[in-house]
Structure 1
């Protein structure tokens, strides 16, 4: 065993308390000290991965470069820490049991009875130890610290094997290499307004009973907690007062690592884990302080309508919303997202629920721009098609992603090519004009892991030099973005569509699959088959989202004319040329910029993902 250091983040009282942001903030603070960090998320469910979940179950499915379909917290890690993670950085009960059962079938256990202890717990420890050693960025450096987030709450039956594994692991790693941070809720009943510490006391007691003693107790609350409450938690939970960290709801997610750092976390971890930090780098945490201050001081607003089918749960579109915020903040705007249920835009709704129908169209019409994100299934598809038609005909800035890309092709085929029954075979298998079809190599009959997944190359056509989207990508001939889809544009209709004015400016490396479409003579009508939201960063916004925000405020043309640079008036968001983040945003590629994470537990601003 190497001298790899581990920080285990557990949760108590309720799920969704913000463990992902706390874990990301630990990593952010340590990275600012010059320490290489990696992260692992443990999900106790039996599913092999998140790929088959409805977004209403756990929010969006986040896709990694290697095609791993994982929990959205890995998006938090990548954005906060500016690292590239892999599918093995997400552990599930299903993955662990499958690995052990496969070994048993091969006879690796030599006829022994296979049990939770030691076989499952050993498998967990070996997995963590192996993945912690994997380089996570372009530097190819081995991480020095691995932050492990255990999903769910302490006491859950599902997570018991993992808790026992880490009880054993603390001795395997040795005390100076392993510490625990327990994130708990401090409820504040409205009847009295008094913070209640009993749930946290019970949670810590249960954690200790399972053999793990917290080094930090991170207390989440709606409002700030006074010193006497902090001291009470210290007394009853057997930790020093400086080991109790109070994180109330904050105006910006970027303030979480700044607030945590102000509690002296670096000094404590340096001593507890023997990190050997002699002195902190100059301007330590300054970039995060600047970023949160800038967002707090945004003076203008841009309104974007999101036409989706999972709008009842914000986390279903988390990365999309964060990408809109990244782009808007860079230009100096606060983004307001109007969530429109796609099915409410459909004509049938006029007779079923006219109030919902008219309200949906009112929201769409008053927006500055429209985004139609990805999704699956038939419900809401006609509403997405109607939204893309309205944007095309009325010059409204529009961005379609994945299913939004396909909806744009269907709409154009119906209303410009007059193919009235044009559709996708996903929704209408027997349509006479299947302009969207499934990809043969992915039509295996199974659901999990059978899509076109992960980072793929998109090539801009030679004829696309003047296209807005290529110029937004700084004139690159090819780009790499992450994909997650099972359907594509039918090659039989491409020539006819392009003759009518729907231009496919980007294709795959074999020029067989259409990746990007754009309408000429339109302020901004762009749709992409890939998911650009997965690579967006706060200081390096995704180009398609940047284009939408700029067009929504009618400054895209001037931005492109200046070679994708903001004018002094537009860039008043930045302080000056000596601002590290301002320079980063303008001059570094997306893959090299830090990013942040989002959690509705910390911010009152709108959050959601596709």
Structure 2
């Protein structure tokens, strides 16, 4: 097993996740089996209780693990399926050590950070690195480990110490450290500054880890003199200083790294059993990236949510939209709309903001209401859904978006003015959305209906079923604590509001569709978590097709895209490890 540790310096959010994913992509392109582990030094057990403004979206895995959004990058880049144990936190480590102490596993010894915490970290990494993630039961050959935060954080110290010891246990030829640092370039002078990187590397070396590669994040290409200066003060060869400049597409990052000889370095440093050179393989990536940059036709989608000030809050949603837009040869334009701005209360206080929000909504070609929690902004989402239904605009509701679509229809078509979810009104006369008793334990963390669940289609005429290829069922990932009240569904179906998908037992409503509408679909699950660049999520693809006016043509052709699309994608079918069209916003 080969281990590649990615650390960061100077600032957080510098792009370690994208670089770790890109490194894994290069290695996988050479025929190696690659896995990934994300370490988050916070004391939370998992990411499930985070506000999206704190840490971006909560990504959900097949096994129900609520993890950091970087694991979504790993899955999309490498086309793998990870588990909750691929996300390691301080909380998990301390919890496991304390549980062992309570059982008496330490035989009366004083439990300390060194060696007990550090040993637990190493044991966790070694065990998880050997878990198959490709679906073929093959044991990984390389494990890419990303250590969150920045070097010097007090929370990271036990992990740094653990890997200081780890590098000797697994031997130098099996361990490599990559340090990602920032090269600021002040506008006043335009000069690239190396001092922050020098200080960061000095601190890392003082803690016992010496970087093998220094990846320098910069807005413009790294100057030769700057590279030589970093080499001299950071104890590496100039060839070990890698420039990671801003690029037009995240898809270009693996190409950028490979061009600078990263794979050749890995082969020498880690003695990798590589038979195939990645340059030819990654040329397919270049074809896709070039194509995405050349797209001229645009399709606009209004994303109506409550966390629109931070794009990371909807990372997977944006990726799924981008994958679908690329599939239909369109460039995506996302119009972020804060749902509160659509409400009449905003019109009274900030009329300009209110009218701007409605102008964005009315000018969009499609409407998306993603998942979420809490009552704030829900009335604005319902107004957006009402507008999309009445104006025959393509609409997709995900999780809460589907539940609110049910509320909107009940209020405005069935005439139940107080129809609501018990999440927002505990005792409405018409509780069209209710809580699931088995998932209401009084605690918030990890108590929802989580992970992969099966949805059975009960209608052969369902648009979504056709988009999925006519299959009888689909397996998608869930994250919710409330569900549609099945006892009231017959009232909806009489008015053309169809529940075309249910769970295996027929107890939970999973998919809704509206008759006589161009595209009005709601899903209880989160299809964005399994979207891939060459295999876009069907619900999102349907939304983009409808927004571009191509849905009916697509369905008439048996759910096949145009020959030009197929031709441009045939050469890239094998290489679905990347996120093709996502702008590298984190950088």
Q: Same fold (TM over 0.5)?
A: yes
TM-score by length of 2: 0.98
Alignment check: 8 A CA contact 1:249 1:602 kept? no
Alignment check: 8 A CA contact 1:422 1:431 kept? yes
Q: Distance in 2 between matches of 1:10 and 1:260?
A: 17
Alignment partner, residue 8 of structure 1: 5
Alignment check: 8 A CA contact 2:25 2:578 kept? no
Matching of residue 318 in structure 1 with residue 315 in structure 2: yes
Alignment partner, residue 465 of structure 2: 470
Alignment partner, residue 54 of structure 1: 51
Match of 2:485 among 490, 497, 522: 490
Report which stretch shifted further, 224-233 or 160-169. Answer: 224-233
Alignment partner, residue 274 of structure 2: 277
Alignment partner, residue 17 of structure 2: 20
Query: Structure 1: which 5+ residue stretches go unaligned?
Result: 585-591, 605-610
Cα drift, residue 430 of structure 1? 1.5
Cα drift, residue 280 of structure 1? 2.1
Q: Distance in 1 between matches of 2:448 and 2:479?
A: 6
Q: What secondary structure, in the 3-state scheme, does the structure 1 residue paired with 2:577 have?
A: coil
Mapping 1:449-528, distance limit 5 Å:
449-461=446-458, 464-528=459-523
Alignment partner, residue 580 of structure 1: 571
Matching of residue 386 in structure 1 with residue 387 in structure 2: no
Matching of residue 172 in structure 1 with residue 169 in structure 2: yes
Q: Distance in 1 between matches of 2:276 and 2:483?
A: 54
Alignment check: 8 A CA contact 1:62 1:75 kept? yes
Q: Distance in 2 between matches of 1:514 and 1:594?
A: 33
TM-score by length of 1: 0.94
Q: Distance in 2 between matches of 1:600 and 1:323?
A: 13
Alignment check: 8 A CA contact 1:250 1:602 kept? no
Alignment partner, residue 438 of structure 2: 441
Mapping 1:173-572, distance limit 5 Å:
173-280=170-277, 283-461=280-458, 464-568=459-563, 571=564
Alignment check: 8 A CA contact 1:84 1:136 kept? yes
Cα drift, residue 276 of structure 1? 2.7
Query: What RMSD in Å do the two structures reach over aligned CA positions?
Result: 1.4
* CA deviation map 1:144-163 (0-9, x unaligned): 00000000000000000000
* CA deviation map 1:316-370 (0-9, x unaligned): 0000001000000111111010000001111222212211111111100000000
Alignment check: 8 A CA contact 1:10 1:151 kept? yes
Cα drift, residue 432 of structure 1? 1.1
Q: Distance in 1 between matches of 2:517 and 2:585?
A: 38
Alignment check: 8 A CA contact 2:40 2:147 kept? yes
Match of 1:30 among 27, 49, 63: 27
Q: What secondary structure, in the 3-state scheme, does the structure 2 residue paired with 1:284 have?
A: helix
Q: What secondary structure, in the 3-state scheme, does the structure 2 residue paired with 1:360 have?
A: helix
Alignment check: 8 A CA contact 1:16 1:601 kept? no
* CA deviation map 1:136-195 (0-9, x unaligned): 021110000000000000000000000000000000010000010000000000001110
Alignment partner, residue 589 of structure 1: none
Match of 1:133 among 125, 130, 145: 130
Alignment check: 8 A CA contact 1:76 1:597 kept? no
Q: Distance in 1 between matches of 2:195 and 2:323?
A: 39
Alignment check: 8 A CA contact 1:56 1:313 kept? yes
Q: What secondary structure, in the 3-state scheme, does the structure 2 residue paired with 1:195 have?
A: coil
Q: Distance in 1 between matches of 2:523 and 2:46?
A: 25
Q: What secondary structure, in the 3-state scheme, does the structure 2 residue paired with 1:164 have?
A: helix
Alignment check: 8 A CA contact 1:17 1:601 kept? no
Alignment check: 8 A CA contact 1:253 1:599 kept? yes
Report which stretch shifted further, 268-277 or 398-407. Answer: 268-277
Cα drift, residue 595 of structure 1? 4.0
Matching of residue 43 in structure 1 with residue 40 in structure 2: yes
Alignment check: 8 A CA contact 1:304 1:337 kept? yes
Distance 1:281 1:343, change over 3 A: closer
Query: Structure 2: which 5+ residue stretches go unaligned?
Result: none
* CA deviation map 1:66-92 (0-9, x unaligned): 000000000000000000000000000
Distance 1:374 1:148, change over 3 A: same
Alignment check: 8 A CA contact 2:251 2:582 kept? no
Q: Distance in 1 between matches of 2:32 and 2:43?
A: 34
Alignment partner, residue 143 of structure 1: 140
Cα drift, residue 283 of structure 1? 2.8
Cα drift, residue 279 of structure 1? 4.4
Alignment partner, residue 587 of structure 1: none
Q: Distance in 1 between matches of 2:288 and 2:586?
A: 15
Alignment check: 8 A CA contact 1:251 1:603 kept? no
Distance 1:97 1:181, change over 3 A: same
Q: Distance in 2 between matches of 1:597 and 1:46?
A: 34
* CA deviation map 1:283-341 (0-9, x unaligned): 32122112211111111111100000001111000000010000001111110100000
Q: What secondary structure, in the 3-state scheme, does the structure 1 residue paired with 2:425 have?
A: coil
Runs of 4+ more than 6 Å apart: 597-600
Cα drift, residue 596 of structure 1? 2.0
Match of 1:594 among 573, 577, 584: 577
